[in-house]
Amino acid sequence: MISDSTPTPTHTGSCHCGRIAFEVHGTIDSALACNCSICSRKGSLLWFVPRASLELKTPEDAASTYLFNKHVIRHRFCPVCGIHPYGEGVDPKGNAMAAINLRCIDGIDLAAIPTQHFDGKSL
């Protein structure tokens, strides 16, 4: 049996003021730009990972939560600086997921990440 010894990349990120800080484990291979009412206003570029891949470095209660529409996604944001670093929900199979705002990840080249456009406005 051959083992893949390549370590999983770890990325750090935060809101603007640092009240919400995190690490996320995984390879950033794509981004999603959604045009729904909230994503278009926030300007988020989303990367979806299993929720277990997101490790908060600050207390969970440092983030506020915004729910709208069907209340299935917990949009997490900083009550101090207003930045939305991530959201939480479940995938169609019921697995806990996190939607990481790539604009909050340190030291990445957003232009190099393939971006898929999603028509959330029409849903």
For all residues of the chain together, what is the average pLDDT? 93
Q: Which residue has the higher pLDDT, 4 or 76?
A: 76
Write down all domains in the chain, each with its CATH number in brackets. 28-122 (2.170.150.70)
- Compute the distance between CA of residue 92 and CA of residue 102 in angstroms, rounded to an integer: 22
Encoded amino acid at 54, one letter: L
* pLDDT range class, residue 5, cuts 50, 70, 90: low
pLDDT at 26: 97
**Three-class SS of residue 21?**
strand
- Mean pLDDT for 41-50 is 95
Residue 11 predicted with pLDDT over 60:
yes
pLDDT at 4: 60
Q: Which of 106, 121, 111, 116 lies closest to 11, judged by CA?
A: 106
